[in-house]
Amino acid sequence: MITNRTRRWCFRLATAACLAALASPLSAAPASGRDDGDFEWALRLGLVSIEKGAGKEALDAFERAGKLRGDCPICLLGAAQAHRLLGNAKKSMQLCDRVLALDSSDDQQRALAHNLRGLGLQKIAAGKNKKKLAEAEADFRDALELDPHDPNPHYYLGVTLLLMERDEEGTQELEAFLDDKDTGEAADKARRYIENPRRARENDAPTISMTSSDGEPLSLADFEGKVVLLDFWATWCGPCRAALPSLKALNEKMAGRPFVIVAVSADPDEAAWRKFIAESGDEWPQYRDEDGRVRAAYAVKAYPTYVIVDHEGIVRWRKEGWGPAVPLEVEKAVQAASESAEP
C-alpha cells in the first residue's frame, strides 16, 4: 500500500523537479518594473517556502504571483506543490489540469503537471483503487513522453506499476531510473523495491542510520533477516521505565532466534541517558535520537511507542503507550513476525 512515508518521498522528488523547472525562468527574465519585481519576489518566496515545508506560506506567495501575472504556468505549478504539501491532492490536481489547458505551458511544464497530477492520483488511490492507479500510470507515461530526459517519472511509474502488482514492468522502470540516478535516497528505495517488490505495496520501514551508545554505526540493514523491535522511549517517561522488565523478559525468551531490540531514546540530556542505560544494563543496542530524525521517520508522537519490523524490512505492527496488557501484545506480535523469519 502507499504509506505516508512514500507520499512524502514522492513529494520530495516532485519538489526537486519543480524547483529546477521554476528557477530557470527567473534568471532569464530579470525584473523590468515594479510589478515584475513583485512577481519575481513572490516566486522566490514561494520556492523558499516549499523548501522549508511551509505550505501555507508557499501557497500565499504563489497566489500573489498569480494575481500579478494571471494564469502563468509557473504560479499554478508552485501553488499545486503547496497544496500537495498541505495534503490537498484534489486541489493540486485541479491546478495541474489548468496548466495542461494553457497554450503557454511548454513541454517541461506540462510534464511536471502530469507528474504532480499522477502523484495526486497515487495518494487518492491509497494503494487500492486500481482505476486511479491506472490514471496515474497514464500521467507518468505522458510526462516521460514530454520530457524523456527527466528520470523521476521512471521512479513514479515504477512504484505505480508495483502497486498494481505488475512487478516485472515496475522493476524495469525503476532500473531505468537507476540508469540516470544511481545515488541518493530515491536510488536506495528503487533498489529495495527491485529486490522485493512487496515493499512498495506494504508499509516499508524507513531506512535509518544511527550510532549506538558505544559509538558503533548501525542501521536496519544490519539486521536483515531478523525481526526488529524498535522501542521509542525516554528516561523521563515513567511508563517507558515500567516497561523495561517485560522487554528484558522478552529478549531472554527470544534468545537464539532472529530477533533484536533497538532502543531509540528521545532524551535531550545525554549524561542522564548514559547514566540510566549504564545502570539498567539492557543487552540491546541503544541510540539517542538527538535531532529527532528517527522519530520523525516513524511518526512517533507518544512514549513508549513500539514498532515491529519484519525480516524483509516491512513494518508489521506498532503500539503507542503502555499498560498491563501491552507486554503480551508485544510478545504476540514479535512471535507472529518471527514465524515468517525462521526457515
Q: What is the pLDDT of residues 89-124, one digit of tens each?
A: 999 999 999 999 998 889 999 999 999 999 999 999
| pLDDT score, position 156 | 96
Cell of residue 339, nine digits = 514465524
Q: Are strands 259-265 and 227-233 parallel, antiparallel or unpaired?
A: parallel
Strand arrangement of the beta sheet that strand 227-233 belongs to: 286-288, 259-265, 227-233, 305-309, 315-320
Please say if the pLDDT value at position 323 is more than 70: yes
Phi and psi for 218 in degrees, rounded to 5? -150, 155
Q: Where in the chain is the domain with CATH 1.25.40.10?
A: 4-201
Q: For 256-281, what is the mean pLDDT?
A: 94
Considering only the C-alpha atoms of the chain, give the largest distance between any 2 of them, rounded to a whole number of Å: 74
In whole angstroms, give the CA distance from residue 203 to residue 198.
9
Q: Where in the chain is the domain with CATH 3.40.30.10?
A: 209-341
In whole angstroms, give the CA distance from residue 203 to residue 142.
28
- Whole-angstrom CA distances from 272 to 235, 289, 290 are 8, 14, 13
- Whole-angstrom CA distances from 54 to 79, 82, 247 are 12, 8, 40
In whole angstroms, give the CA distance from residue 115 to residue 137.
10
Please say if the pLDDT value at position 13 is more than 60: no
Categorize the per-residue pLDDT at 71 as very low, low, confident or very high, splitting at 50, 70 and 90: confident
Residue-wise pLDDT tens digits, 18-50: 444 544 444 334 444 456 788 889 989 998 898
End-to-end Cα, the chain, rounded Å: 26
| pLDDT score, position 122 | 93
Comparing 303 with 3, the larger pLDDT belongs to: 303
∠ CA(156), CA(161), CA(166), 5° rounding? 160
In whole angstroms, give the CA distance from residue 121 to residue 133.
7
| pLDDT score, position 207 | 78
Q: State percent of the chain over pLDDT 90.
A: 63
Please say if the pLDDT value at position 158 is more than 90: yes
Cross-strand partners of 218: 210
Domain spanning 4-201: CATH superfamily: Tetratricopeptide repeat domain (1.25.40.10)
In whole angstroms, give the CA distance from residue 248 to residue 254.
10
CA 189 to chain centre: 10
Q: For 148-159, what is the mean pLDDT?
A: 95
Q: For 319-341, what is the mean pLDDT?
A: 91
Q: Is 260 helix (H, G, I), strand (E, B) or coil?
A: strand
Q: What is the DSSP letter of 210?
A: E
Categorize the per-residue pLDDT at 341 as very low, low, confident or very high, splitting at 50, 70 and 90: low
Fold of 209-341: Glutaredoxin (3.40.30)
Q: State percent of the chain over pLDDT 70.
A: 89
Please say if the pLDDT value at position 8 is more than 60: no
Q: For 281-292, what is the mean pLDDT?
A: 91
Q: For 258-285, what is the mean pLDDT?
A: 94
Beta-carbon contacts of 249 under 8 Å, excluding residues fewer than 6 positions away, are 327
| pLDDT score, position 23 | 47
Comparing 251 with 206, the larger pLDDT belongs to: 251
| pLDDT score, position 51 | 84
- When the pLDDT of each residue in the chain is averaged and rounded to a whole number, the result is 87
Cell of residue 295, nine digits = 522519530
Categorize the per-residue pLDDT at 14 as very low, low, confident or very high, splitting at 50, 70 and 90: low
Categorize the per-residue pLDDT at 214 as very low, low, confident or very high, splitting at 50, 70 and 90: confident
For the ranges 21-30, 61-70, 99-108, 242-251, the lowest mean pLDDT is seen at 21-30
The burial of 318, by beta-carbon neighbours within 10 Å (0-12 exposed, 13-18 middle, 19 or more buried), is given as middle
> Do 315 and 205 form a contact (C-beta atoms < 8 A)?
yes
Please say if the pLDDT value at position 1 is more than 70: no
| pLDDT score, position 224 | 84
Q: For 152-156, what is the mean pLDDT?
A: 96
